[in-house]
Amino acid sequence: MSDFDPKNLLTLAKEKPFLEVSFQYLLGREASQNEAQILSEMMTLVIDHGPDSPSAQATISASKEGKDVLRSVEAGIHQINDKHGGAIEGCAQILQLEDFDPIHLVSSALAEGRRLPGFGHRIYKDEDPRTTYLFTRLSELALDSGFIQKAKAIEAELEKQKGKKLVMNIDCGMAVVLSELKIEPKLMNVFFLWPRVAGLVYRWSNI
């Protein structure tokens, strides 16, 4: 994508749909048909997760206080962190390590009392169905080059060493998808923020 040019956008507005242009901006290149498909499906999965999610609760609370849509959604966005939608970057950095070693990764984290980003969920204890869906679609769309197996290796090692299953949550699922598409980790949390803003607007509008 070239530098901002109003004339270029006038042309793009007629020739390409919004999502296609957005992916081009974020990827720095045009997405293939399969890449665009998995990105679209992935963002649909995280547009909302019910009124009890931290971001939805904050938005609903702000709405009830009489705040407008911008301030209410802003309150919800402030709840996005490494425990809620913001662990994608950290998870991807682990999955992309050149010396990836799940045994050492897990043992070090447990010894230091650190959470491994992308694992564990307040509701899902056996599996996160959204992550399972994404992994299936990656294989169907021929976009799986090995990151799924890395994520599964960490999950298995966590259960072995901790004695408790911590599922690969949606942050992990998104980290796998975005790693397969060679997107820089520092940009990955945007792919949760972007659709969730739409979900938070929905929560605000239904109070």
| Dihedral Cα 10, 12, 15, 18, nearest 10 deg | -120
Mean pLDDT by 10 residues, the chain (207 residues): 72 91 90 96 97 96 97 97 94 97 97 96 94 98 96 98 96 98 96 97 94
Is the full-model pTM beyond 0.85?
A: yes
Please give the pLDDT value at position 1.
Answer: 47
Q: What are phi and psi of 85, to 5 degrees?
A: 80, -5
pLDDT at 7: 79
Q: Contact, 130 vs 173, CB < 8 A? A: yes
Give the whole-angstrom CA distance, residue 176 versus residue 137. Answer: 12
Collapsed DSSP state (helix, strand, coil) of residue 119: strand
What lies within 8 Å, CB to CB, of 62 at 6+ separation is 71, 72, 74, 75, 76, 204
- CA proximity to 12, closest of 20, 28, 36, 37: 20
| Axis-axis angle for helices 18-27, 190-205 (nearest 10) | 140
- Report pLDDT for 25: 87
Q: What is the DSSP letter of 5?
A: -
Domain ranges of the chain: 1-31, 33-48+86-196
User: How far apart are alpha carbons 36 and 145 in whole angstroms?
Assistant: 17
Q: Bin 167: left if φ > 0, else alpha if -120 < ψ < 50, else beta.
A: beta
CATH of region 33-48+86-196: 1.10.230.10
Give the model's pLDDT for residue 3.
62
Q: What is the pLDDT of residue 100?
A: 97
